[in-house]
Amino acid sequence: MKTADKTDLQSLLLSELHEQLCNAGEPSYRAGQIMEWVYKKRVPSIGKMTNLPTRVRNWLDEKFSLSKIDIVRTLGARDTTRKFLLRLSDGNLIESVLIPASPALYGGRADRRTICVSTQVGCAYGCKFCASGLEGFSRNLRADEIINQLIALESATGEKIDNIVFMGMGEPLANLQNVLRAIRIINADWGLNIGARHITISTSGLAPQIRKLAEEPLQIRLAVSLHGATDEVRNRIMPINRRYNIETLLSACDYYNSHKKQRLTFEYILISDVNDSDEQARLLSRHAHRLSAKVNLIPYNSVSGLPWRRPSEKRQETFLSILRAKDIPATLRREKGHDIDAACGQLRLQTERAELTKG
Ligand code: SAH
Ligand code: SF4
């Protein structure tokens, strides 16, 4: 939580806390002690940081908050994909998903537990197939709200999360500053200590921000939601393509590749009669070849109220085989969590609709 003039401790870098402590005349080693209470011991309040003198605790209390976020609904059982609906301090709802160990999709080892986090409340990009965009955009999440999703899920499940994908609600590259701040804290040894190679950002194709991200020294992974191999198909389902068309997007990806060692991933949702033709598969393999990218095929998850459907399994397999025949590393996600509306934004939408009908 950020009360009017207080910053949450979980939005601060160690160096920033150092500096503030020094300005207050306190020894800088206190910063390390404080971060240890926050991230290693996970105390619920500043008052519980018992090795700090009362003077320092009072100072912290005056300047900073230390919030948690509440889980209001959980769907799914242990060992399956579980989806969590979280309520932020201002009442807004967001979602996080916990995906059990499964064959590595984004480069992590097969035995990793992955969290899919949200970066915004709603989304302004309005992809035609996506539940997150349906009710428009409310606001960006702060770094502490991003980090708190991970802390809330670990504390609710008792499980250690070791892989993180920015594929929940929202467009991470439209909230780049807060997302990068959260990633620094997630990656830091004084923070959550998750390796950069186990952190993946997914974008619908904000070309200028992809270039900015390329210049960041962190070796995080990038997934690009392509969902169409031509401008014609992409324009039909993703309004962002009218601003940054496929060539603009792919050349930003070239630039990204020239700065990074990690392979790019193309996300490609398969939607029946929209983007699942043989011709789209051939063109997609050409783009993937140009960028040495992997392709993750994801059968579309129906969203209530939207007309799109997933193709038959046979069509999905054919699409996959065309990519494989061109030697493109490709996987077809036999969707976990289809039964719990696991695609981003769906649980929130459902709950908000239920709350609305309750009046
Ligand atoms: N805004 C970013 C990240 C969040 S969306 C992006 O678009 O990449 C994460 C992924 O979920 C995207 O690839 C998105 O296209 C996909 N997605 C959205 N709705 C879906 C649905 N109904 N079924 C399957 N995937 C979906
Ligand atoms: Fe936003 Fe991504 Fe959904 Fe598009 S797919 S509306 S960019 S969250």
Residue-wise DSSP of 145-177: HHHHHHHHHHHHH-PPP-EEEE-SSS-GGGGHH
350 Rama sector, left if φ>0, alpha if ψ -120 to 50, beta otherwise: alpha
Inter-residue contact 89 to 135 (CB < 8 Å): no
Q: What pLDDT digit, counting tens, does each position of 15-39 carry? A: 999 999 999 999 989 999 999 999 9
Report how far ligand 1's centroid is from the alpha carbon of 197 (Å). 21
DSSP state of 339: G
Determine the pLDDT at residue 58: 97
Determine the pLDDT at residue 348: 61
Distance between CA atoms of residues 195 and 326, nearest Å: 32
> For residue 308, how many other CB atoms are within 10 A of its CB?
17
| SS (HEC) of 263-332 | CCEEEEEECCCCCCCHHHHHHHHHHHHHHCCEEEEEECCCCCCCCCCCCCHHHHHHHHHHHHHCCCCEEE
Determine if ligand 2 sits within 6 Å of the CB of residue 123.
Answer: yes
**What dihedral do alpha carbons 38, 221, 267, 245 form, nearest 10°?**
110
Mean pLDDT by 10 residues, the chain (359 residues): 76 97 95 98 96 96 95 85 93 92 54 89 95 89 98 94 94 98 98 96 98 95 97 98 98 97 95 98 98 96 91 97 98 64 55 49
**Whose alpha carbon is nearest atom 19 of ligand 1?**
130
Tell me which ligand sits closest to the C-alpha of residue 268: 1
95 is catalytic: yes
**Whose alpha carbon is nearest atom 3 of ligand 2?**
130
Report how far ligand 1's centroid is from the alpha carbon of 335 (Å). 13
Determine the pLDDT at residue 357: 45
Instruction: Using the CB atoms, write b or e for 93-132: b if 16+ within 10 Å.
Output: bbbbbbbbeeeebbebeeebbbbbbbbbbbbebebebbbb
Inter-residue contact 84 to 96 (CB < 8 Å): yes
Distance between CA atoms of residues 91 and 314, nearest Å: 44
Determine the pLDDT at residue 39: 98
Q: With 0.85 as the threshold, say if the pTM is over it.
A: yes
Determine the pLDDT at residue 103: 52
Inter-residue contact 250 to 284 (CB < 8 Å): no
Closest by CA position to 63, among listed 118, 8, 1: 8
Determine the pLDDT at residue 15: 97
Identify the three-state secondary structure at position 58. helix
Determine the pLDDT at residue 343: 52
344 is catalytic: yes
Determine the pLDDT at residue 17: 97
- Pocket lined around ligand 1, Cβ cut-off 6 Å: 129-130, 167, 171, 202-204, 225, 267, 269, 298, 300-301, 303, 343-344
Q: What pLDDT digit, counting tens, does each position of 187-202 carry? A: 999 999 999 999 999 9
DSSP string for 341-358: T-STTHHHHHHHHHHHHH
**Whose alpha carbon is nearest atom 8 of ligand 2?**
170
Determine the pLDDT at residue 99: 86
**Whose alpha carbon is nearest atom 4 of ligand 2?**
127
